[in-house]
Amino acid sequence: MAVIGIESSAHTFGVGIVDNGKVVANAKAMYKIGSKGMIPREVAETHLNNAANVIQEAVQEAGITFKEIEGIGYTKGPGIGHCLHVGLLSAKTLAKKLNIPIVPVNHGIGHIEIAKKRAKLRDPLALYVSGGNSQILKKYGDRYKILGETFDIGIGNMLDSLARSLELYPAWGSTVEKTAENGRYIEMPYTVKGMDFSFTGLLTHASKMKGKHNDKDICFSVQETAYAMLTEATERALLLTNSKELCVCGGVAQSKRLKRMLKGMAEEHNIKFGYAEDTFNADNGAMIALVAEQMLAHGRKAKLQECGIEQRYRIDEVKLWKE
């Protein structure tokens, strides 16, 4: 069953195609983030300009024709309203034109499911870390339960904001990680409460250090502190749920340092640890297609006129399928 998935929740317009769980295409085009961050209207305009080409590219990459596509999924949320609408419009148009079933997909579930699939894990605890989200989750029956999460901003937004306040460009996590190489540790605020955590205090404290310490030491210290917070909360969740597997997913899962820290912790407890390749941790259409294929196989198609977007669409609202 060839299913196409459209992702447009933030800076990426991604189109993926899966066939019986196998990714056969994963095309994408990205909005370049400048010093002002993401301007929703501009990002949406970029997606509109790229949409037709990326869809065409994915179909070519899969080596199929449009007629062979049997279902479509799109990101319903969470994300930026302007951007989500472009994906919704593209998906509805394709569904109508090709006369195929459509299903809305939660972006976070896409990240978790593709990590599970690529890492060959069956029932992992998931640490989902991206720009807007930072959560610890586990699937019980046909639903994910959020065991822990950020009290304020997502870790990715924190790292992007830090980069902007230190005037490091492109302002995102990988630039912070590169700057942090060979840095020395400076004391930073550390906030973990049970399995929840908070990043704004850390960001404010670090931003005030600009000029007083070098960028290398600030980036290193923020990174070590934030990742240690995530690792501590994840360790607690692993032990409380008696989980035997762990995956990390989402944009920030591209960080080598975070993966090293989690791997070390998982090894201490004899827990199998896995993650997807970077291209599937960055936003992509394949993860949406993967979830859509499963949802359609479980009869979850939606009525075209009822398809919409939800900027704050939480993972635990979604009824999935039992394994």
Among 50, 130, 231, 243, binds Fe ion (CB under 5 A): 130
Taking the complex as a whole, how short is the minimal distance between the CB of residue 283 and Fe ion, in angstroms?
4
Q: Report how many residues bind Fe ion under the rule CB under 5 A.
A: 2
By beta-carbon proximity to Fe ion, the closer residue of 101 and 110 is 110
Taking the complex as a whole, how short is the minimal distance between the CB of residue 163 and Fe ion, in angstroms?
18
Residue 283 binding Fe ion, by CB under 5 A: yes
Closest to 283 (Cα-Cα) out of 132, 180, 140, 141: 132
Collect all residues with Cβ–Cβ distance below 8 Å to 149 and sequence separation of at least 6: 133, 134, 135, 136, 196, 197
Taking the complex as a whole, how short is the minimal distance between the CB of residue 251 and Fe ion, in angstroms?
5
Helix ranges, the chain (H) = 40-62, 81-98, 107-119, 155-165, 173-179, 200-207, 215-241, 256-268, 278-281, 286-297
By beta-carbon proximity to Fe ion, the closer residue of 30 and 192 is 30
By beta-carbon proximity to Fe ion, the closer residue of 217 and 283 is 283
Interface segment toward Fe ion; rule CB under 5 A; list 158-166, 192-200, 281-289, 302-310: 281-289
Interface segment toward Fe ion; rule CB under 5 A; list 45-53, 128-136, 173-181, 211-219: 128-136
Interface segment toward Fe ion; rule CB under 5 A; list 45-53, 63-71, 77-85, 277-285: 277-285
By beta-carbon proximity to Fe ion, the closer residue of 215 and 283 is 283
Q: Which residues of this chain interact with Fe ion, rule CB under 5 A?
A: 130, 283
